[in-house]
Amino acid sequence: MGNQVLNLQNLKKIIQILLEKVKFLYENFQIEGLLIVFAILANFLAIFFLKAPLFIKIVSLIINISLFFFLVDVLKKAVEKKLKAENLSQIIFNAFNITPQGLCIYDEYFTIIQVNKKFCNIVGLSSEEIVGQKVKPEMLKSAKFRTLAQIFFPSLIGQILERKTEEKIEISFVYFKEPTDTYFVIWTVPVLEKEKNVVTKLKIVEDKTAEILYQKNQNAFYDIAAHQLKTPLSEINWILETLKNPLQENEKNELLNTASKITKKITWLVETILNSVKIESGSLNLNITRFNIAEVINDILDILEPEIKINKINLIKDLKDIEIPGDRAKIFLALSNIIDNGIRYNKPEGKLEISNFQEGDFVKIIVKDTGIGIPQKEQEELFKRFFRASNVRKIGKEGFGLGLYISKKLIDLHGGKIKIESKEGIGTTVTILLPIKEELIGK
């Protein structure tokens, strides 16, 4: 009786193991797995229904069961190998996808096989729009596919600034003028060769536009800074030479007053440069005191008085004595840039309105001009470093392209806000909010 129970338990275990193996075969090989099971079962049935000695039937049964488990083991190893390959493939794909350069694999017919996210960003297309595309020179005429075609056929539309070959890798530094100034470094790398012919290649693309334009802007900035500092220094030198001559007291005072204004303007220009560097390095600190905001604005207007007169600007002021906490020198610089823009880019005999009043826990300063305005499509770029509107560049007005960038950074640092509303050809209104309570600074 005990042996029968033991045999029954063993049989249950065998059946359970068999069912697990059958389930494994079905889950991993679907119909093929079930066919393997049916083939083995058919073999079992054939053994027991055919006339053969019991000994042979038992041996055949053992061989079939062993064969079944051996087959399952082989298939299991194949599945594990496949999973490892898939995992490795996924790891490679993830690395391919997070590479900071644009990557594009294509065949000998210029049909794209695979791309990464960065490549999609560079060409402005999704992977679904790129993979499977056969890149042709005709795509250079398409607004949608132009950048993609430029990468494959740079010499047809771009200017090759430098080209070299290292072993089998070709490296090109290319400049494209259309649709906007763009600089690419493009590596062309053979990936798979067959019968001495390259059948698969890899394009590695690095967009150098921001880096190149930044360097150009830096160089232009230094040129403008040198020129703008040279002019007032020459004026001071002329004043000093004039003061050597016999002059009436009122003439001396007028020259000294002019020299003082020029010196303040030079200090303002130098502060603009220094603060730009400090903002970039993250080393800008505030020296908090309390001061009258109306006095600051009047000091700025005093320095800019010559420009106001030369341009015949109709200045309208409505300033209230309101004390605020902050770094006076930095608020002076922030407001100087904004008011200077209102004069520099105003129309001859235009109007400049400056007012301030308290609004809750803030002082609101409004600077409104009747100048050339800012093109609508460029207004998102206003607070970027070195930004200068296209209409400003056309009229040849000099400038650092740093004014609004620095003003916003300094106002933000004080826990304030700046908003600009502008219409090209009509004028610009700048609204600034600065906190009246010291505890709001930096929040």
Least confident among 25-29, 156-160, 308-312: 25-29
Neighbours of 404 (CB within 10 A): 23
Q: Which residue has the tokens 């790398």?
A: 189
Non-local CB neighbours of 210 within 8 Å, separated by 6+ positions = none
pLDDT at 2 over 50: no
HSE of 342 in the Cβ direction (CA atoms, 13 Å)? 28
Q: Which two tokens stand for residue 275?
A: 């603060």
- CATH class assigned to 238-440: alpha beta
Residues β-bridged to residue 311: none
Mark out the alpha helices in 108-208 (DSSP H runs).
Answer: 117-123, 127-130, 146-152, 154-157
Going from N- to C-terminal start, the domains of the chain cover: 2-96, 102-207, 238-440
d(CA 385, CA 119): 26
Question: Can you state the angle between helices 209-243 and 249-281, rounded to 10 degrees?
Answer: 160
Predicted pLDDT at 200: 85
Predicted pLDDT at 302: 87
pLDDT at 357 over 90: yes
DSSP 347: P
Tens-place pLDDT, residues 336-350: 889 988 988 888 889
Query: pLDDT > 90: what percent of the chain?
Result: 20
Greatest CA separation found in the chain? Answer: 141
Is 281 exposed, middle or buried, given 0-12, 13-18 or 19+ CB atoms closer than 10 A?
exposed
d(CA 83, CA 77): 10
Predicted pLDDT at 65: 65
> Would the CATH topology of 102-207 be identical to that of 238-440?
no
3-state secondary structure of 275: helix
The domain defined by 102-207 carries CATH number 3.30.450.20 = yes
Average pLDDT (28-36) is 56
